[in-house]
Amino acid sequence: MRGIVLIGYRGCGKTTLARSLAARLDWPWLDVDRVLEERAGRSIATIFAEEGETAFRDREAAVLTDLLSGPGPLVLATGGGVVEREANRRQLRDSGALVAYLDAPADFLRARLEADPGGRPALTGAGLLAEVAVVLARRDPWYRASAGMVVDARLTVEEKTACLARLVENPAKSRR
Ligand code: S3P
């Protein structure tokens, strides 16, 4: 798929940046979580509660495969756990899109999630905020291995948009 895929932990700003990038590039944008909810006819919190995380991950993998197999151009925001499955990580690497990891320290993410929990289900018994450091430590190497570039999530939306849009507008610079 021609396009940009945004990956990173919950609260790093993928959806806001996807919307901003799409406006700047005049491309459509989609959020894997929203497509999944539309297809399921239920919220993610309900899917976690009624079907469990494994069933959610199956749905997430199916949506990812569908969206990455389109031609694009597209800006795609993903759920923070998309890198949990090896097959998803491989698809991201092989997608042909510019995959950008929005990297942020646990403190920053915790503060953002505290301000806007957004009905996100906890992933461990520790809870949404307390689990950030341990889940991020597990996922961080996967985000890095799946991405073609790393962007500091603490930059402003305008800065991140400009940085990624420039790479798309001047693709020679986006090569790894
Ligand atoms: C998840 C992140 C969520 C959503 C689901 C699971 C995760 O997406 O896919 O609640 O495992 O980190 P956001 O990163 O958009 O919150």
DSSP string of 50-83, one letter each residue: HH-HHHHHHHHHHHHHHHHTS---EEEE--TTGG
173 pLDDT above the threshold of 70:
no
Across 20-31, average pLDDT: 98
Percent of the chain residues past pLDDT 70, beyond the cut: 97
pLDDT in tens, 47-74: 999 999 999 999 999 999 999 999 989 9
What number does the ligand 1 atom closest to the CA of 36 have?
Answer: 9
What number does the ligand 1 atom closest to the CA of 60 have?
Answer: 9
DSSP three-state, residue 95: coil
170 pLDDT above the threshold of 90:
no
Distance 121 CA to ligand 1 centre (A): 8
Q: Locate tokens 């923070």: which residue?
A: 80
CA torsion, ordered 144, 3, 18, 121, to nearest 10 deg: -50
Q: Identify which of 59, 63, 120, 132 to mutate to test ligand 1's pocket (most ligand atoms within 8 A of the CB).
A: 120
